């Protein structure tokens, strides 16, 4: 008995509710932007500078007591959060202590770390520093810059590639979908206040890659069907293409999500934020390749007669071409 | 119809076999690693029974390349240091003063008395002459002292000094070209010294890399904490020997011209006024070893090179009964009184040292002094507990992800799912083989990259299978359907993977540290998944078809 996620032939109309889906996407994007400006992102030390210490102790984390132990040392703003993970067990209690960048020094000095360790150990003798990370303001500034540059570069490179391989309308559609995905991801990070660090940028770019992968597969089929059905209206051709590829879209999303879910549940708390971003990205990316990228393509319309100048700029298809 | 020439088949299976062979050592990570370490040590000339046994732990005819584990998977410390290259300008320019003074002294009749003026910028030398009318001639004499810039590419056209007249003062600075050349030398020397210090400490496979103009990235696996690493490399360890002028308890005391005041290392409140010019410096040391003094206290014994030994011998012969200060990084370690002439250029430093102090100091002295101080911009330490968790979690997650995807594929595609699964397993083996061969570093985000690849690698295969299904529906024969399926899916597969590959490339180029590790596995995963989807699955389909000759495909 075979598992079948999608019937052999589907004839769903993906554009009947364009207004609704477009509206939903637009509202979600606006909300994301509002959340970003209202609540901001919970930047990790990669982008903000400062020091974060992961403590592990046998006694339960007492945030108030930790704070009381550290505050007198005069490191300024101290943020303490407890880290939960189902694998920890009762005698393993993990907390993240974050202090702001210190005046006059880039990274924290060994003396400062020792001061803090002594203060915390005095109050809980089982406590150890499992990891210490410190990033100076100079580097964090550069990290922000290079992160933004890499996201923008990735978008631009992809725009260019799709324009080269398809038509500019496809490019616009693909990038609209990508911007949609990135904005919604930043939005959810801002709403849930998940720590936003360098790894999340990697996740963002992977989302860009994944969403694109999806969009390109649909577009590839659109291009093929446009050649095959020269007379049919664009909306029909788009619908047909999405239906044709639906089974593959679902299969790939499911296998990727299966792998990511395994990481999310079992991969440990260190990369959970990273994996969360990717799961979110796969869901949003799959949605956007249909309801944003294709819908934008429908709005802009597309040149219909591909046969005349096949071989030059437009539609240089890899592989065998069928007449 | 469906035919693949024999040479192609051999090539494809050969590649797969090689991938499995090269990925295999990673399954026996500890044994292969012990073998590699033992081989390296035996080659370095040590040979013990234990080492031979370790070497035998892994057969030598098998490849033993391993994936390097990143700091987050092995534990260790990561530091990003910025070298204060500008410090060296001050030393250089300060060193020019005697030459400038002597040159102008020869023209005393024309320029009159010469005086060095204080300057806010330590990178410049300000000189005032009594006869200010002759200032442009005087500047000319100083200008003649400039040498051609020495750069890595040989002698350049540019001069090393820039001399200008500001009011009544002659200002000497290093030229732009000389600054660049100096920076380059400072960086090379710093890198070399850090490398020697870290190597002397005996940790495995440290990464010491220059980043940008004035930064050095240091990653040392296995070291307990970044603090330890900083203590090892952060000290300048500049050792100098100075004649003592005076001992005082007043830190505010103003030293005379060309004299300096340094605190004592052991006795708080005690300060030494010393001649600024050292008799000998640490650069002239050829060896330093931890040892014991006559009272069995830890000490460091040292030996000078011939030039240093001569200067030291001469000075001690002439100054018997006078104290003599041993200065380390601006602190007086000890100031023994010279008891007798010390020929031969060896001696011993005593102070309030522990045994650890002396072995660390000996390492630092042997490796030489850093040319300039460093600021640490970034540090990351991962402890062993956290690391073990990460590895365990990563392993379990990868295995569960793999099993889930494999099961799902079989459930959906039946026998063809098995074909896809073999391709998937080969794909993961290839990623590991490539990572091992290029000596890439696997980090936790890197593992996430592999898991993501496991999910996405089936994408290409799924594209092909779905296409074959479709072609089957348009009532073509199975052979034709398979052929068309591969042909028509090709365009989508290439476009989709090239776009993802572009993002991986940009991540690699722009990212740092963990992001890069992720980009490497993602990029390699794309290449191998295209290979397995287009060639390996196809070969297996063709073989299946040739054997069974099915009338219809149950795909």
The CATH number of the domain holding residue A150 is 1.20.1640.10
Confidence of residue B103 (pLDDT cuts 50, 70, 90): confident
Classified as helix, coil or strand, B246 is strand
Cα separation, B521 vs B529, in Å, equals 12
pLDDT above 90 (res A31) = yes
pLDDT above 90 (res B177) = no
Please list the residues that pair with B219 across neighbouring strands.
B78, B207
Contact A255/B at CB under 8 A: yes
B225 vs B509, more confident: B509
Q: What stretches of A165-213 adopt beta strand conformation (E)?
A: 195-196
Same domain, A111 and A157: no
- Taking only the tens place, the pLDDT of each residue in B318-360 is 888 888 888 887 888 878 778 778 777 788 877 777 887 787 7
Classify residue A200: in a domain, yes or no. yes
Q: Which residues of A touch B396 (CB under 8 A)?
A: 266
Cα separation, A112 vs B47, in Å, equals 44
Same domain, A168 and A234: yes
Our CA-based measurement puts residue A297 at a distance from the nearest CA of chain B, in whole angstroms, of 18
Residue B174 contacts residue B92 (beta carbons within 8 Å): yes
Confidence of residue B68 (pLDDT cuts 50, 70, 90): confident
> Residue B491 is nearest to which of A213, A263, A318, comparing CB atoms?
A318
The CATH number of the domain holding residue A58 is 3.30.70.2040
pLDDT above 80 (res B173) = yes
Same domain, A163 and A92: no
Q: Looking at residues B275-296, what average pLDDT do you find?
A: 80
Please list the residues that pair with B259 across neighbouring strands.
B275
Classify residue A269: in a domain, yes or no. yes
Please list the residues that pair with B336 across neighbouring strands.
none
Classify residue A312: in a domain, yes or no. no
Cα separation, A154 vs A139, in Å, equals 22
pLDDT of residue A181: 92
Domain span at residue A36 reads 18-43+140-300
Same domain, A282 and A171: yes
Our CA-based measurement puts residue B30 at a distance from the nearest CA of chain A, in whole angstroms, of 22
Contacts of A83-92 spanning 24+ positions with Cβ under 8 A = A83/A54, A83/A269, A84/A269, A85/A268, A85/A269, A85/A272, A87/A268, A87/B389, A87/B393, A91/A58, A92/A56, A92/A58
CB neighbour class for B252 (10 Å; exposed up to 12, middle 13-18, buried from 19): exposed
pLDDT above 50 (res A315) = no
- Taking only the tens place, the pLDDT of each residue in A87-145 is 777 788 888 888 887 776 666 777 778 888 888 888 888 888 888 888 888 888 888 88
Same domain, A131 and A227: no
Q: Looking at residues B300-329, what average pLDDT do you find?
A: 84
pLDDT of residue B202: 64
pLDDT of residue B204: 63
How many A-B residue pairs are in contact by the CB < 8 A criterion?
A: 261
> Residue B393 is nearest to which of A220, A245, A267, comparing CB atoms?
A267
Classify residue A129: in a domain, yes or no. yes
* Torsion of Cα atoms, B430 then B431 then B432 then B434, to 10°: 80
pLDDT above 60 (res A234) = yes
Q: Looking at residues A57-84, what average pLDDT do you find?
A: 84
Classify residue A8: in a domain, yes or no. no
DSSP state of B254: P
A196 vs B265, more confident: A196
Residue B285 contacts residue B308 (beta carbons within 8 Å): yes
CB neighbour class for B471 (10 Å; exposed up to 12, middle 13-18, buried from 19): buried
Residue B438 CB partners (closer than 8 Å, separation 6+): none
R_g of chain B, CA atoms, integer Å: 34
Same domain, A175 and A281: yes
User: Model-level pTM?
Assistant: 0.74
pLDDT above 80 (res B153) = no
Which phi and psi angles does B193 have, rounded to 5°? Answer: -70, -40
Chain-centroid distance, C-alpha B479: 55
- Taking only the tens place, the pLDDT of each residue in A239-282 is 999 998 888 888 889 888 988 898 888 887 877 888 898 899 89
- For residue A113, the chain B residue with the least C-alpha distance is B227
CATH topology of domain B6-26+384-548: Multidrug efflux transporter AcrB transmembrane fold (1.20.1640)
Summary mean pLDDT of chain B? 82
Q: Looking at residues B238-248, what average pLDDT do you find?
A: 84
pLDDT of residue A320: 43
Summary mean pLDDT of chain A? 82
Chain-centroid distance, C-alpha B101: 42
- For residue B406, the chain A residue with the least C-alpha distance is A255
User: How would DSSP label each residue in A233-261?
Assistant: -HHHHHHHHHHHHHHHHHHHHHHHHHHHH
Q: Indicate the range of A65-69, A319-323, B116-120, B264-268 predicted with least confidence.
A: A319-323
User: Hey, where are the domains in chain B?
Assistant: 6-26+384-548, 86-181, 239-379
Our CA-based measurement puts residue A223 at a distance from the nearest CA of chain B, in whole angstroms, of 10
User: How would DSSP label each residue in A5-19?
Assistant: SS-SS----TTTTHH
How many domains does the structure of chain A reveal? 2
- Taking only the tens place, the pLDDT of each residue in A172-197 is 898 899 889 989 999 999 999 888 88
- For residue A266, the chain B residue with the least C-alpha distance is B397
Same domain, A163 and A262: yes
pLDDT of residue A184: 94
Same domain, A165 and A264: yes
pLDDT of residue A323: 35
Q: Hey, of A148, A227, A262, which one would you mutate to test binding to chain B, going by the most B CBs within 10 A of its CB?
A: A262
276-295 in A: which are within 8 Å (CB) of B?
278
Same domain, A131 and A151: no
pLDDT above 70 (res A319) = no
Our CA-based measurement puts residue B2 at a distance from the nearest CA of chain A, in whole angstroms, of 16
Same domain, A226 and A289: yes
Confidence of residue B407 (pLDDT cuts 50, 70, 90): very high
Among residues of chain A, what percentage have pLDDT more than 90? 13
Please list the residues that pair with A81 across neighbouring strands.
A96
Q: Which residues of B touch A210 (CB under 8 A)?
A: 456, 500
> Residue A254 is nearest to which of B227, B380, B408, comparing CB atoms?
B408
Classify residue A315: in a domain, yes or no. no
> Residue B506 is nearest to which of A129, A157, A213, comparing CB atoms?
A157
Classify residue A33: in a domain, yes or no. yes
Q: Do B397 and A133 touch (CB under 8 A)?
A: no
pLDDT above 60 (res A310) = no
Pairing between β-strand B207-211 and β-strand B215-221 as defined by DSSP bridges: antiparallel
pLDDT of residue A322: 41
Among residues of chain B, what percentage have pLDDT more than 70? 96
Closest by CA to A262, choosing from B254, B140, B398, is B398
pLDDT of residue B95: 73
Classify residue A7: in a domain, yes or no. no
Q: Hey, of A161, A202, A227, A318, which one would you mutate to test binding to chain B, going by the most B CBs within 10 A of its CB?
A: A202
Same domain, A54 and A26: no
CATH topology of domain B239-379: Gyrase A; domain 2 (3.30.1360)
Same domain, A178 and A268: yes
For B293, the token pair is 């003094």
- For residue A317, the chain B residue with the least C-alpha distance is B491
């Amino acid at each position: 008995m075979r598992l079948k996620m999608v019937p052999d032939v589907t004839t769903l109309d993906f554009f009947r509710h364009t207004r609704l889906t477009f509206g939903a996407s637009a509202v979600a994007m606006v909300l994301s932007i509002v959340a970003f400006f209202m609540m901001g992102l919970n930047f990790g030390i990669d982008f903000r500078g400062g020091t974060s210490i992961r403590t592990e102790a046998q006694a339960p984390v007492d945030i108030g007591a930790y704070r009381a132990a550290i505050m007198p040392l005069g490191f300024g703003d101290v943020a303490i959060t407890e880290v939960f993970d189902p694998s920890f067990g009762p005698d393993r209690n993990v907390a993240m202590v974050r202090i702001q960048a210190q005046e006059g020094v880039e990274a924290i000095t060994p003396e400062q770390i020792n001061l803090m360790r002594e203060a915390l150990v005095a109050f809980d003798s089982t406590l150890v520093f499992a990891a210490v990370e410190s990033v100076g303001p100079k580097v964090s500034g550069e990290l922000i810059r290079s992160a933004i540059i890499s996201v923008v570069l990735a978008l631009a490179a992809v725009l260019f590639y799709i324009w080269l391989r398809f038509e500019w309308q496809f490019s616009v559609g693909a990038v609209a979908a990508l911007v949609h995905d990135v904005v919604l991801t930043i939005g959810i990070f801002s709403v849930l206040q998940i720590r936003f660090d360098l790894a999340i940028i990697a996740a963002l770019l992977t989302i860009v890659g994944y969403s694109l992968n999806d969009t390109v597969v649909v577009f590839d089929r659109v291009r093929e069907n446009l050649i095959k059905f020269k007379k049919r209206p664009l909306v029909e051709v788009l619908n047909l293409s999405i239906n044709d590829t639906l089974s593959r879209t679902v299969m790939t999303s499911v296998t990727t999500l299966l792998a990511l879910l395994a990481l999310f549940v079992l991969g440990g708390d260190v990369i959970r934020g990273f994996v969360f971003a990717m799961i979110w990205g796969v869901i949003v990316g799959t949605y956007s390749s249909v309801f944003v990228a294709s819908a934008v393509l429908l709005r802009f319309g597309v040149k219909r007669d591909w046969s005349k100048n096949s071989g030059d700029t437009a539609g240089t298809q890899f592989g065998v071409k069928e007449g | 119809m469906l035919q693949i020439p024999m040479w192609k088949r051999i090539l494809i299976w050969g590649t797969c076999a090689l991938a499995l062979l090269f990925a295999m050592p990673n399954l026996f990570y500890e044994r292969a690693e012990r073998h590699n370490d033992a081989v390296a040590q035996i080659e370095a000339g040590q040979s013990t029974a234990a080492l031979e046994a370790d070497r035998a732990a892994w057969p030598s005819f098998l490849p033993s390349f391993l994936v390097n584990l990143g700091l987050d998977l092995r534990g260790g410390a990561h530091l990003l240091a910025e070298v204060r290259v500008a410090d060296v300008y001050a030393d250089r320019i300060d060193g020019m003063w005697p030459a400038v003074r002597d040159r102008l002294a020869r023209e005393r009749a024309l320029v009159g008395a010469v005086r060095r003026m204080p300057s806010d910028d330590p990178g410049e030398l300000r000189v005032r002459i009594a006869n200010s009318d002759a200032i442009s001639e005087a500047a000319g004499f100083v200008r003649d002292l400039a040498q051609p810039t020495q750069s890595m590419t040989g002698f350049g056209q540019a001069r090393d000094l820039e001399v200008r007249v500001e009011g009544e003062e002659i200002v000497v600075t290093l030229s732009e070209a000389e600054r660049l050349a100096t920076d380059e030398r400072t960086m090379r020397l710093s890198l070399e010294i850090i490398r020697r210090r870290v190597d002397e400490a005996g940790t495995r496979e440290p990464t010491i890399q220059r980043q940008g103009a004035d930064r050095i990235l240091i990653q040392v696996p296995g070291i307990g904490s970044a603090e330890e690493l900083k203590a090892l490399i952060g000290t300048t360890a500049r050792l100098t020997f100075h004649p003592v002028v005076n001992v005082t308890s007043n830190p505010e005391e103003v030293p005379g011209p060309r004299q300096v005041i340094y605190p004592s290392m052991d006795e708080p409140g005690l300060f030494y006024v010393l001649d600024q010019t050292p008799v000998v410096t640490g650069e002239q040391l050829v060896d330093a070893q931890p040892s014991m003094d006559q009272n069995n206290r830890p000490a460091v014994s040292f030996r000078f090179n011939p030039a240093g030994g001569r200067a030291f011998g001469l000075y001690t012969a002439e100054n018997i009964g006078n104290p003599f200060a041993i200065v380390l990084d601006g602190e007086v370690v000890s100031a023994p009184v010279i008891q007798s002439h010390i020929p031969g250029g060896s001696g011993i430093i005593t102070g309030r040292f522990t045994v650890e102090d002396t072995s660390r100091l000996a390492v630092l002295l042997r490796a030489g002094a850093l040319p300039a101080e460093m600021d640490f911009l970034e540090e990351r330490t991962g402890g062993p507990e956290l690391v073990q968790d990460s590895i365990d979690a990563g392993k379990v997650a990868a295995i569960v992800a793999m099993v889930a995807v494999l099961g799902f594929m079989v459930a959906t595609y039946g026998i063809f799912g098995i074909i896809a699964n073999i391709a998937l397993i080969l794909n993961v083996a290839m990623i590991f083989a490539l990572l091992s061969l290029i000596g890439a570093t696997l980090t936790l985000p890197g593992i996430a990259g592999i898991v993501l690849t496991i999910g996405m690698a089936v994408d290409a295969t799924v594209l092909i299978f779905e296409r074959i299904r479709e072609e089957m529906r348009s009532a073509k024969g199975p052979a034709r359907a398979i052929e068309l399926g591969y042909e028509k899916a090709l365009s989508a597969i290439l476009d989709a993977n090239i776009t993802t590959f572009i993002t991986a490339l940009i991540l690699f180029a722009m990212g740092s540290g963990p992001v890069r590790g992720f980009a490497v596995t993602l990029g390699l995963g794309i290449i191998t998944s295209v290979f397995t989807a287009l060639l390996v699955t196809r070969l297996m389909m063709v073989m299946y078809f040739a054997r069974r000759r099915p009338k219809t495909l149950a795909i």
